[in-house]
Structure formats: C-alpha cells, structure tokens
Amino acid sequence: MLNYKELEELKFFADKVATVHGPDHGEYITVNEIIKDIDNEENVSDDDLGDLRELTKNYVIPEWACKAETTLLNLLSKMDKNNI
C-alpha cells in the first residue's frame, strides 16, 4: 500500500511527467488524469489499473526515461502490486 507521502509523490511525478513529456507521449497526460482522481489507494478501480498498465506497457521503464519518469513508473507499479 502506498502511504500518504508516496501518494503525494505519485501525484507530483504524474503531473511533472505529463507536463514535460506529454507533448511527445500523450499517454502520460492520461496517466496524470487518472492519478488526479485518486484520494487513497483503496479507491483505485480495476479499470483504472488496467488503463494504467496499458498506457505504461505494464510499468516498463524505457531506457531513455528520466528520473521523474522512472520514479512515476516505480510508484505506479508498487500501487498496482498492492491492489492485486
């Protein structure tokens, strides 16, 4: 389970990555929209998790990923594993 600090980090990095990489990788804009609606880890729906998996190719970190993108994908993966 993500703690409050990790959830806030997830929201921060989702927004940052969407702002920086969204113009070239629109999937991060959609990821950010999904993350904005999360108040706590318990309200993440199976549909949201499925969408996040698809958008991020199962949270695989691209070799060209920046630190913010790597952190985002790691936090998303942790959240997903806790909801299975």
pTM: 0.91
Instruction: List the chain domain ranges.
Output: 4-82
Q: Return the pLDDT at 2.
A: 77
How would you write the pLDDT of the chain (84 residues) with one tens digit per residue? Answer: 678 898 899 999 999 999 999 999 999 999 999 999 887 666 788 899 999 999 999 999 999 999 999 999 999 999 999 875
Question: Please, which residues have CB within 8 angstroms of residue 18's CB and are 6 or more apart in sequence?
Answer: 28, 29, 31, 32
Q: Is 21 left (phi over 0), alpha (psi -120 to 50) or beta?
A: alpha
